[in-house]
Structure 1
């Protein structure tokens, strides 16, 4: 990279040159940092396959992994950040090693939403779009958002819901205890409620002080949006 990086930047100054991609080789990655790879790239490529049943809290562990990576980068980059690109991330949904479709959809949604809290992270490429084949017991056959015949799976609908909102979204604020993220997608602000534990219902109460306002649009990830007028009916009265 010492030879190639300056030559590429001379030809295409605006090109973003990403380093070698590392999946599980944390020690190897640090060795490359120690030998100066951060001086000859614009960003770090990383693969994070932890959305399966080997991990008790996959998204939380992923966030910890990303923060640890940031700390490591700063250690070898004079305390400064470097762009990070997750060029592969995913999980299979069929065999005992993988997750159910519902689990995978929830984890995908949580991961992409929480990714917006990491300003140094510049992209996540989900692996992959389409199942390779039909063998349910084969670990590598079932990573797709759609089946081999292009039939959508639950994670597909989660990704579809999030894509339009998050492609340009920026974090405005957050309340991590309740998993609330306030984001702006370039046109308007929206509030994302991220359920912290599976099987837990979440109730949000909004107040507008009695002022006339536009209706609220509510969208459960993977489902159609629903517009509701302001107002509260006390069903217990």
Structure 2
């Protein structure tokens, strides 16, 4: 099977390096003073540098109210304050609640919303020099499960109507994310919020499309992006003249889970690789933040202990290796494109320079007849953390683990695909 390649650039934005227009971030917990895993920003900095991430995400303590200048931040918000000074990655800062300040868990009264808004504006004033992205709350919608008086779209809209203009007053050119929806089946909550005017008070929407408790086959990176593409299509149907930017501010898989069984370390590594390779080619998707950087414990029954790219002792898991390898493979490239030679088969193309392309190929379909790809003799391969690729003399089998390769631009058309028992 020969494939027609479209190598044209759609717009000038494509000439930017991926690292300059797309966020590869991780969630962490320096903002939790009691958290024993995230002991110091110095430890975290070295790991972030190894991964080469360009963004982080963390909860802001309400101790920010005790700070009156940037010099006060280490005393007011502890490890997070020190981290802002030494970690170069762009911070996403979650403006969440505090049980002492908001005993009702979510600010649903006018007085509580005023208290929250004052905190948010104060944070924007003090932190503006760090070029933060602020996120108004985190997974507000999930409280519906616990209390029918909480988690509603209506109450969330009242909050963002108060907080968004207060934050933008301090950082008029800054980015404020709204939504933060977790486990939002068929995107009902977020679509209702947008229908009611959410994007009048936000610069982008944040989503958490977890699938670690789905039946086994959809627990993949491909399915995460399929779900988010569905949301984007619905947004374009409802608002064809509006470009609504989406940020995946949490996504991850626990490798141990007493309730849902967990996902294997190798599958998690493949998932992270798949998402990082495809997501930058979606112009309306601005970034992904893997949850999370470090395991928070070792309890085999508690899934929250096992989301880390690194384990509790800060040893690198396969997903960390995959993330680092893939990001370093694409971060300096431009003009990412995804083509599909077959259903659920992905062929990603990136420009390293005028003379050189980088490509990634992976296949998510379950077929009785294998799919294969043949590369020109000029190809140089990049190992995905030592993964072996089944092959014949000249054909490579397409599987869920991506094949990473670099070829001269003039040879791109020599890549061939075939579906056969033996090619």
Q: TM-score, normalised by structure 2?
A: 0.47
How many correspondences in the alignment?
A: 223
Q: Write out aligned runs for 1:1-237 (5 A).
A: 1-25=160-184, 26-51=187-212, 54-57=215-218, 58-95=220-257, 97-167=261-331, 169=333, 170-177=335-342, 178-184=345-351, 188-197=356-365, 204-207=373-376, 216-223=379-386
Deviation at 1:186, TM superposition (A): 6.8
**Cα separation, 2, equivalents of 1:111 and 1:131:** 21
More moved, 145-154 vs 22-31: 22-31
**Larger Cα-atom Rg:** 2
Q: Secondary structure at the match of 1:179?
A: strand
* RCO higher in structure (CA 8 A, sep ≥6): 2
Q: How well do the aligned residues superpose, as a CA RMSD in angstroms?
A: 3.1
Deviation at 1:217, TM superposition (A): 2.6
Corresponding residue SS for 1:8 = helix
- CA drift of 1:219 comes to 1.2
Return the TM-score normalized by structure 1. Answer: 0.80
Asked if the contact 2:276/2:327 (under 8 Å) is kept, the reply is no
CA spacing shift, 1:133–1:12, aligned 2, 3 Å = same
Structure with greater helix share of residues: 2
- Is the 8 Å Cα contact of residues 45 and 85 (structure 1) preserved in structure 2? yes
Is contact 2:337-2:350 (8 Å) kept? Answer: yes
1:108–1:158 CA contact under 8 A, matched in 2: yes
Secondary structure, counterpart of 1:132 in structure 2 = coil
Structure 1 unaligned runs (5+)? 209-214, 229-237
- Mind listing any 5+ residue stretches in structure 2 that lack a counterpart? 1-159, 388-403, 408-423
CA 1:176/1:203 → structure 2, altered by over 3 Å: closer, same or farther?
A: closer
- Quickly say closer, same or farther: Cα 1:173–1:68, change in 2 above 3 A: closer
